[in-house]
Structure 1
Amino acid sequence: MGRYLLGVDAGSTVTKAVLFDVTGAEVGQAARRVPHRYPRPHHVERDQDELWEVTCAVIREVVAAAGVRPAEVAGVAVTSHGDGIYLVDERGRPTRPGILSLDTRAAGLVAEWERAGRCAAVLPLSGQKPWPGSPVSVLAWLLRNEPDVLARTAYALPCKDVIKQRLTGVVSTDPTESSLSFTNVHTQEYDRETLRIFGVEELFGLLPEVIGSHEVAGEVTGAAAEQCGLAPGTPVASGAHDVDCGAIGMGTVLQGQLAIIAGTFSINEVISDVARVDERWNARAFVVPGQWMNMALSPSSAANLEWFATRLAADAHAGRPFGFVEDDLRAVESSPGDLVYLPFLFGSPYPVDASAAFVGLRGWHERGHLVRAVMEGVVFNHRHHVDALRDGFDVTDIRLTGGAAGNPRWVRMFADALAAPVGVSPVREAGALGCAMLAGIAAGVYADLAEAAAAVAAPPAVCEPTPGGVARQEENYRRYQRVVERMTAVWAELG
């Protein structure tokens, strides 16, 4: 049996291949960007062939750089951004460019469904309401606007599954991805009624076979092996949605554990042994049958600081990404936090077209005040989601990963704002490690998820809240809530 496991993480902007040994130690990684295309306003797409070429390139690079023989790779798994949709024909060839979860072309259609009561009707059945990037929303838009494309299409797949199909020649998905739009929340199986509610039942035949996340979905074909440099016959696990893999990779595998992923999206998720439905979160299938990953999320997290750095601090950002943050924060450390930032550059958790804003900005504010407000605004949006999950579940342990986890001050803000210890995993590539763990189970390296987690366990560094910090962040969060409440009418008018 091989001594290494390969996790491929195809994010919304960067695709990474990360090689681990069976103890979870990273032995190499390679990464490349896959550009977005914006053919029209609100349309965010990518070329499927280019995605495959980049995936092959990073796999070849990481195996070569690590000095590992292809035969030493025991198993492979792929994870990717969820939602959106990628369409292929019977031969696995694209029938149109892939549509990412950042795409909002279906916003008007979802608004129609909301007014007609369809979103409320589907909630108790599927455990979630659709949003513009949901697979069902995008498919319904395509049925209305591109019926000729759907007529040529054999399968509607998540991003990771088009990569998996090219690796193995087998079309399939896994429970975490199938539950993004199309399954019954209680049975965790496909349910035609979910499509009928939205008037797209005729598309049921596009849904792929569901194979368990840690089961073998296929093997690397000879043709794929020539392209990506793996050995023919290498087992490929079914894999999982990136938010599930990220949670697994940071050791969040038990009921009641809450994972916070602070990246492009504000992702907050807790595992449960029961299906509990609420419009404040999505109740989706976890990688373990009979368990659920309950996700409260919005596209409003650490990407706000990246935007700030590139647009408003380009001089300090150049050559030293985010290095200016600590200097700026230290310069205003003794100043009061009287500035509010609303982190809604790319969307929000509210039922209006919310936008980002600084509120309370004055001439005496320094750049450090703005940096701190941006970081706090991101934390407060996460808290909005975490408070909802705490209402529904007994949260026993909180862990943080993503861009915010690399800054100790930001981690402290999370601990103080949540008034709870926050563990930061030392694993830098949690998503890739999580899917590599699934590959290990599929290949027989580990017996199950519990054994895999124990084998690669790395204790988190725990940041404890401070009494003064908790009181300060509670006051600031209440101010933030008041601003959001008063801005709702303004956003509605502008929208």
Structure 2
Amino acid sequence: MRGPLILAHDIGTSGTKSSLVRPDGTIAASESRAHATHFPRPGWAEQQPADWWDGVCRNTAALTAKHSELRSSIDAIGVSGHMLGCLPVDSTGEALRPSMIHSDCRATGPCETVRNRIGQDAMYELTGNILESRSSLCKVLWIKANEPDVYERTTRFLQSKDYIVGQLTGSYDSTDYSDASHAQWLDIRTKSYAADVFVELGIDPAKFPCLFRSTDVVGKLTQEAARALNLPTGIPVVAGGGDGSCASVGAGAVNIGDTYCCLGTTAWIAATTAEPFIDRQRRVFNVLALDGENNGVFGTVQAAGRSVDWVMGLLGETDFARFDDLLAGAQPGSEGLIFLPYLEGERSPIFDPNARGVFFGLSPVHQREHLLRATVEGVSFALRSVLEVMRESFAVPALRLIGGGGQSALWQQMLANVCGVAIQTLSTRSADATSLGAAFAAGVGVGLFDGLPQATQTIEVTEERPADASLADRYDTFFRMYQDLYPQLKPAFAQLRESLEFTL
């Protein structure tokens, strides 16, 4: 395990992973720790920043204990983290409240305020992102309106990876273009803070951190952090990036037109473009790439892997080694059972926080295997609905596949069949893409690579699964039914939300 090595920390929705990455993209060693998400009220989702840092410290300590020789081999530290958060910190970097995370959609009132004062179309045109209650901008407004003492004490509003960078370097004054653009804090064309929007909404622009490319070195490991991690002081730390943009790099999707799918707790399809992709129906959104130059167009399925985890738990299945066997126990189409994977509302292409999960078509013929297969097919239909938006503007002959769900051979083939594209698996482990992106950004920052294209040259397509044409008609039929269900249920979803709020 001789150097150089890059230490990458990935702050995920369900846990923190720390990996030692070689410049060729292989993982020398990794450690993971779970952390909790708290749901104090319907629509709320929070995490404790101390849990993220505890995971970073414990993971790194475990790595150094098992591989003591690595301590002097680490050339740089990179961090990725879940996006669309909102964490207020004071001048010392202390968190003033739990962090709202991406699935928190409490800020419906502030969202209406922005819609009325700025306009939905104007916000999308300016930021490249859909105005919704999950927006970090709306979360800032929620804090200002509901926790004014917290707002007044706030020195900086941060994303998850920014807090960890602060813990490592002692400076809580950096964010990168990927996180800031997705937060709806930026004019996506000028790549500067949307100052006019802040002024109109009464938000203090001084409460936001300095902007950097993800590859920029923003500090070095402090003595205090080095003690906590059992590492030498002075290791360079880069600004890092949002998990979606880091995953794009880890998938090797750094050139214009590269398209991939991530099957994780949240799933998405993303493509690299030279300019923001402005969809007049506002079904997809834009995030600046780690290089601060290119753009990523994304369509996100909010509760993809979460839906699969939920139904597996419901069925009493804790051994995911049985996943493919269970999936194979039902035929394509699940005997007419269709699942809408809206357990946490939905993002692309409908952007409706009121939407909820639905099994449609249940009958006595349906068994455990049908429930699982319908859930996985429902997530695949949701991803196809995203892909259809992109196909209106450019061809997508194949999708690179990353994320934990990508380890299932049957899900790979199902996704190919549902979407009608070839699914490509990569030479790197599908679950490591986000960590690789964070590591490669750090490697560029300290000169191990000339740029991200060079860093990703070792990522190769190792297998391609073409779509099974014999299943196209069947899946097309069920996909059309899937698409027809949401418009009919939309009013009922809104009524349900109102009823729940009334009874609280």
**Shorter-chain TM-score category?**
over 0.9
The one of 474, 479, 482 equivalent to 2:481 is 479
1:275 is paired with a residue whose SS is coil
Q: Secondary structure of the residue that 2:261 maps to in structure 1?
A: strand
Match of 1:42 in 2: 43
* Distance in 2 (alpha carbons) for counterparts of 1:103 and 1:292: 25
One-letter amino acid of the counterpart of residue 346, structure 1: E
* Contact 1:265/1:297 (<8 A) preserved: yes
- Who is 2:67 aligned against? 66
Find the aligned partners of 1:442 and 1:335 in 2 and give their Cα distance: 48
Segments of structure 2 that go 5 or more residues without pairing to the other structure are 498-504
Letter in 2 for 1:254: N
For residues 397 and 216 of structure 1, the distance between their equivalents in structure 2, rounded to whole angstroms, comes to 35
Note the C-alpha offset of 1:136: 0.5
Is residue 300 from structure 1 mapped to residue 298 from structure 2 by the alignment? no
- In structure 2, the partner of 1:187 is 190
Measured after TM superposition, the shift of residue 393 of structure 1 is 3.8
Change beyond 3 A, Cα 1:332–1:179: closer
Q: How does 1:79-228 map to 2 (within 5 A)?
A: 79-114=80-115, 118-170=119-171, 171-180=173-182, 181-197=184-200, 199-200=201-202, 202-228=203-229
Quick check: 2:302–2:342 contact (8 Å CA) kept in 1? yes
Alpha carbons 2:20, 2:29 under 8 Å: kept: yes
| Counterpart in the other structure of 2:28 | 27
Q: Hey, what's the Cα distance between the residues in 2 that align with 1:416 and 1:131?
A: 32
Aligned mates of 1:114, 1:392 — CA distance in 2: 27
Counterpart amino acid of residue 344 in structure 1: Y
Alignment correspondent of 2:357: 356
| Structure 1 equivalent of residue 269 of structure 2 | 268
Write the letter of the residue equivalent to 1:283.
Answer: N
Q: CA deviation at 1:336?
A: 6.1
TM-score (norm 2): 0.92
**1:390 matched to which residue of 2?**
391
2:239 aligns with: 238
Equivalent residues of 1:8, 1:432 under 8 A apart: yes
Asked if the contact 1:175–1:285 (Cα under 8 Å) also holds between the matched residues in 2, the reply is yes
Aligned residue for 1:256, secondary structure, equals coil
Distance 1:451 1:326, change over 3 A: closer
Displacement of 1:438 = 0.8
Distance 1:358 1:281, change over 3 A: same
Does the 8 Å CA contact 2:440/2:455 hold for their aligned counterparts? Answer: yes
Letter of the 2:290 partner, please give it. V
Give the superposition deviation at 1:485.
3.1
Distance in 1, Cα, partners of 2:225 & 2:351: 44
- Aligned partners of 1:405 and 1:411 also within 8 Å: yes
Matched, 1:75 2:73: no
Look up the match of 1:457. 459
Task: Give the SS at the match of 1:331.
Answer: coil
User: Deviation digits for residues 64-112 of structure 1, max 9, x if unmatched?
Assistant: 3234331200111000000111111112122222221121221233245
My pick for the range that moved more, 430-439 or 56-65, is 56-65
One-letter amino acid matched to 2:161: K
Query: Following TM superposition, by how much is the alpha carbon of 1:487 offset from its aligned partner in structure 2, in angstroms?
Result: 2.2
Contact 1:257 1:270 in 2 (8 A): yes
Compute the displacement of 1:397 (Å): 4.2
Q: Does 1:284 align with 2:287?
A: yes
Is it true that 1:344 corresponds to 2:342 in the alignment? yes
State the one-letter code of the partner of 1:306.
Answer: D
Displacement after TM superposition at 1:154 (Å): 0.6
Taking the aligned partners of 1:298 and 1:237, their CA distance within structure 2 comes to: 29
Alignment partner of 1:472: what SS?
Answer: helix
Deviation at residue 193 of structure 1 after TM alignment:
2.1
Partner of 1:254: helix, strand, or coil?
coil
Q: Percent identity?
A: 25
Q: Would the alpha carbon gap of residues 483 and 119 (structure 1) be closer, same or farther in structure 2, given more than 3 Å must change?
A: same
Cα distance, 1:18–1:238 mapped onto 2, change above 3 Å: same
CA distance in 2, matches of 1:44, 1:116: 27
Task: Give the drift of 1:492.
Answer: 3.6
Q: Deviations over 1:442-489 (max 9, x none)?
A: 1211111111011x3233421111111223221221121122332234
Q: Report the equivalent of 2:410.
A: 409
Q: CA deviation at 1:135?
A: 1.2
TM-align CA RMSD: 2.0
CA distance, structure 2, for counterparts of residue 351 and residue 235 of structure 1: 39
1:302 match: secondary structure = helix
Q: CA deviation at 1:130?
A: 2.4
1:45 maps to amino acid = E
Q: C-alpha separation between the residues in 1 aligned to 2:351 and 2:435?
A: 33
Deviation of 1:160 (Å): 0.2
Give the one of 411, 435, 440 matched to 1:437. Answer: 440
User: Aligned in 2, Cα 1:438/1:351: closer, same or farther, shift over 3 Å?
Assistant: closer
1:173 is paired with a residue whose SS is strand
Q: Mark the CA change 1:372 to 1:49 in structure 2 (over 3 Å): closer, same or farther.
A: closer
Q: Could you say what secondary structure the match of 2:154 adopts?
A: coil
Q: Quote how far apart the aligned CAs of 1:270 are.
A: 0.9
**Which amino acid letter does the alignment assign opposite residue 221 of structure 1?**
T
* Structure 1 letter corresponding to 2:97: R
Q: Corresponding residue for 1:469?
A: 471
Q: Which residue of 1 aligns with 2:450?
A: 447
Call closer, same or farther: CA 1:59–1:346 in 2, change over 3 Å: same
On the 8 A contact 1:136/1:195 being kept in 2, the answer is no
For residue 326 of structure 1, what is the aligned residue in structure 2? 324
**Alpha-carbon deviations, 1:288-335, whole Å to 9, x = none?**
233111111131312111000112x11xx14x2x23433333333388
Scaled by the length of structure 1, the TM-score of the pair is: 0.93
Structure 2 SS opposite 1:462: strand
3-state SS, counterpart of residue 38 of structure 2: coil
- SS for the counterpart of 1:290 is coil
